Amino acid sequence: MLNKDSVEIAYGYNEVLKRDITKRDVIVFIDALRASNTVLTLLNSGVSYIRLFSDLREIIRFKKMHNGFIFVGEQGGRDIAGFDYNNSPTKIFNSNELLRGKKIAMITSNFAAASHGLRRIRCTKLVASLLNAGALRCFLSSEKASYDKIFLLAVGRNKKRTVEDDKTADFLKRSLIQGRMPNPDRINDIYYRSESARGLKKLGYSQDIDFCVRYNLIDIVPEIKGTRIIKRYTR
C-alpha cells in the first residue's frame, strides 16, 4: 500500500504543469475511452514500440517516408484513409498474432496532446486504465518503484474533464492506497452513461465500452519515453 499523501489526481495536463514535478515523481496517463486501452492492447500484443503523434499532417508525412510501420489512429472517431487500424482496442485485441514484433505509428487526439504538453517535464510517465489496474498497483508498490509523488492524470477531452477519466483516476488512487481493488460495479455504470460512451455507440463501437470496463485483463505497465511508448513492467 502507498501513503495517501503520495498519490494525487490531476484533472487535465494543464493542472500538472502547475505542480512542482521532480525526477523522483511519476505521472500516470489515464484516457479511459479509449486511448489508454489502445496503447495497452497494442503493447500486450507484442509490438516493438509505439511512436505517438498528435498532428495528422505530421503522421501522414511520416507514413509516406516509412514503410516498416503499422499505422493506427482516427480523427474525431472516424477512420483515416490508408491506416491499418483505428483506435478500437477490441479490433487490435483480436489481431494479436498479426502485430507481434511490429513497430506502430499511432495518432490520438487528447492522449497525445497531453503527452506533448508535458514533454518538457522530466519524470517517469506511465499509462493505465482499469485493464491494468492490478499491474499498476504491483509496480508502484514494489521496491523498484520508489517514487516521491504519484500524479494520476485524468486526461479528459478537448481540455475538459470527462467523468470516465475522473472516476478511473479515483478508482486507481483507492487501489494504490488500499492495496486492493475497490468494488468495480460502482464504476461500470458511469462508463456506460458517459458522453464519451454515447459517442462511441453512435459510431458503432459499443463493444469497446464493454472491453474498457474489464479489470486486470492486461498485466503490463507502459511507459512514455519521448515520442515512444514501450513496455516498462510485466506482472
Whether the per-residue pLDDT at 145 is higher than 70: the answer is no
- Residue 4 DSSP symbol: G
7-234: which CATH topology?
putative 2-phosphosulfolactate phosphatase (3.90.1560)
**Which whole number is the average pLDDT over 184-204?**
89
**Span 159-169, pLDDT tens digits:** 899 999 999 99
Q: Cell numbers at residue 224, please?
A: 512514455
Span of 84-93, 128-137, 168-177, 182-191 with lowest mean pLDDT: 182-191
Chain-wide mean pLDDT for the chain? 92
Domain ranges of the chain: 7-234
Tens-place pLDDT, residues 51-85: 999 999 999 999 999 999 999 998 877 889 999 99
pTM: 0.95
pLDDT tens figures, 2-51: 778 899 999 999 999 999 999 999 999 999 999 999 999 999 999 999 99
Q: Is the pLDDT of residue 1 over 80?
A: no
What's the per-residue H, E or C state across 110-160? HHHHHHHHCCCCCCEEEECCHHHHHHHHHHHCCCCCCCCCEEEEECCECCE
**Residue in the structure block whose three cell numbers are 488500499:** 178
The average pLDDT across 172-178 equals 92
Q: Do 129 and 94 contact (CB within 8 A), yes or no?
A: no
